[in-house]
Amino acid sequence: TVTVGVLALQGDVREHVHALASTGVTAVPVRRERELDTVDALVIPGGESTTMDKLLRAFDLFEPVRARLRDGMPAYGSCAGMILLADRVLGGIEGQQTLGGVDVTVRRNAFGRQVESFETDLVIDGLQAAAEQPLHAVFIRAPWVEEVGPDATVLARVESGPAAGRIVAVRQGPLLVTSFHPEVTGDTRVHQLFVEIVRDSL
């Protein structure tokens, strides 16, 4: 059976564990290196990327997670998790580092300070029934993707409103990142897509 870890240093861990478990995989929180060693893949939840960056170091997980990513471990990052998996960050704090892996430049808190959160329907390439049933996406102080390198593929853009055209979902090999929080809506298709990526990688 497939085991997917959820980085459990901060953020909405439990919701991801539930969403993953509903797809039929074993989902476990990861707080220590020995827990990381037991998982086939890792979800990095939303939260606060600067705090998670510091906690990854404090828990001696930064280099071990990086090493697993270099070895091809599939990973899915949502919101702050997207920032952590991005190679480059705009609007970060001084000294903020990322794990990297996805050849994109993301902008933190990109949707505007006054707009703490917004919701919109998205058509996401690769999702089951993507066109017939758009995904209701919830953005909370979210980043967007400003530049995409040649090896990364855009899966979704905002369709309307002031942020129309902005890139909010990207895949690069076994790495998936989204600006939004699919774990809060009860629609588990993004988690299903990630689990398919994990199964294909094994």
**178 contacts ligand GLN (rule: CB under 6 A):** no
- What residues from 93 to 132 belong to the interface with ligand GLN (CB under 6 A)? 108-109
The catalytic position among 15, 16, 79, 191 is 79
- Is residue 16 among the annotated active site residues? no
**Nearest distance from C-beta of residue 147 to ligand GLN, angstroms:** 18
**Nearest distance from C-beta of residue 153 to ligand GLN, angstroms:** 22
DSSP string, the chain: --EEEEE-SSSSHHHHHHHHHHTTSEEEEE-SHHHHTT-SEEEE-SS-HHHHHHHHHHTT-HHHHHHHHHTT--EEEETHHHHHHEEEEESPPTT------EEEEEETTTT-SS--EEEEEE--TTSTTTTTS-EEEEEES--EEEEE-TT-EEEEE--SSTTTT-EEEEEETTEEEESS-GGGSS--HHHHHHHHHHHHH-
**Nearest distance from C-beta of residue 15 to ligand GLN, angstroms:** 12
Q: Which stretch binds ligand GLN (CB under 6 A): 31-39, 79-87, 120-128, 184-192?
A: 79-87
- Is residue 183 among the annotated active site residues? yes
- What residues from 3 to 22 belong to the interface with ligand GLN (CB under 6 A)? none
- What residues from 125 to 144 belong to the interface with ligand GLN (CB under 6 A)? 140-141
- Is residue 116 among the annotated active site residues? no
In this structure, what token pair is assigned to residue 176? 């998936």
**Nearest distance from C-beta of residue 133 to ligand GLN, angstroms:** 24
Q: What residues make contact with ligand GLN under the rule CB under 6 A?
A: 46-49, 79-80, 83, 108-109, 140-141
